[in-house]
Amino acid sequence: MPRALRYYIENTPENRIPDDAWKEIARLQHWYNSEFIWSCDKIGLKRYMAFPNYDRIPDMPYHTAKYHFRKRFLQKKIELQDEIAAVRAMEAEGLYIIRWGGVRDGAIASGITHVADNEFNAYLLCEFLLKCSTIANEASFIVEDEGRFVIPGRAIFRNAEIQARRDDLYRQGEEISLDVPQIFSVVNADKYNEHPRFSQNLEDFDDLDEVELAESVHRFSTLGFAQNYETAWGDAGGLNLQLRARRVGII
């Protein structure tokens, strides 16, 4: 799989997000996904994952059942004028099996976005989370990066602030500098105007031998393991996410 960023809101009493804020976050997510080009995945912060319970209608053909579930879900959303209420109603009826919190255990909401080596996509995702923290200012949005954009590997956004954990920044027990730490790499978005898109799937994967698999992960438009661009620190034309924050701190 290509390099991913994982993001979530932990299910704790300190994290509170009203329904109106969720609607604003959903609109913001749709805007980011529509406005920008994404190398692999788009932003997918989800409050739940829904799985149709096909055992409820075992005699119905799969494709017919799939259509039936979608139609019932849409009808319920129109009836209740509330997506979450519709989900809970479908869960109570046993038509859907719901995994609350998205892809991560112990979360209010979570998501995974694969960006390969597109650092501008990583920037956009983290900028989105920073904006979310201004909409839901009583919740902490955490992001973990497998790549180089989030320098300590993990960052936290809360009420327009960017926070990093001391153990992530100073893993070898170094003394804490008085200077504000650099949490994010500086990204020049112009480098990614012609950036290739990548697929997470390989055709005939089961039929490939070891040599063919090794070649596939470096092939153009496949998976995106190769590092095509270096992120420039201090690039005069680059975007520094920390300058968008109200404050940067260590916790």
The model's pLDDT over 100-130, given as tens digits with 9 standing for 90+, comes to 999 999 999 999 999 988 999 999 999 999 9
More confidently predicted of 170 and 232: 170
Quickly tell me which residue has 């046993």 as its tokens. Answer: 94
Residue 163: strand pairing partners: 156, 249
Number of structural domains the chain divides into: 2
Q: pLDDT tens digits, residue range 66-109? A: 888 999 999 999 999 999 999 999 999 998 999 999 999 999 99
Kindly tell me if the per-residue pLDDT of 183 is higher than 70.
Answer: yes
- Residue 155: name the closest of 175, 181, 177 by CA: 181
For residue 248, give the DSSP letter: E
Where among 63, 80, 100 does a domain terminate? 100
Q: Report the half-sphere exposure of 167 (CA within 13 A, side-chain side).
A: 0
Q: Clarify whether residues 148 and 175 are in a common domain.
A: yes
pLDDT score, position 213: 65
Q: Clarify whether residues 128 and 91 are in a common domain.
A: no
Q: pLDDT tens digits, residue range 134-146? A: 999 999 999 999 9
Considering Cα of 60, then 64, then 67, then 72, what sign does the dihedral take? negative
Is the residue at 244 inside a domain? yes
Q: Clarify whether residues 89 and 116 are in a common domain.
A: no
* Parallel, antiparallel or unpaired: strands 107-114 and 161-164: unpaired
Q: Clarify whether residues 40 and 66 are in a common domain.
A: no
Q: Clarify whether residues 152 and 166 are in a common domain.
A: yes
Is the residue at 15 inside a domain? yes
Q: Clarify whether residues 60 and 180 are in a common domain.
A: no
Is the residue at 208 inside a domain? no
Kindly tell me if the per-residue pLDDT of 200 is higher than 80.
Answer: no
Is the residue at 169 inside a domain? yes
For residue 154, give its domain range: 4-47+106-191+231-250
**Mean pLDDT, the chain, as a whole number?**
87
pLDDT band at 232 (very low <50, low <70, confident <90, very high): very low
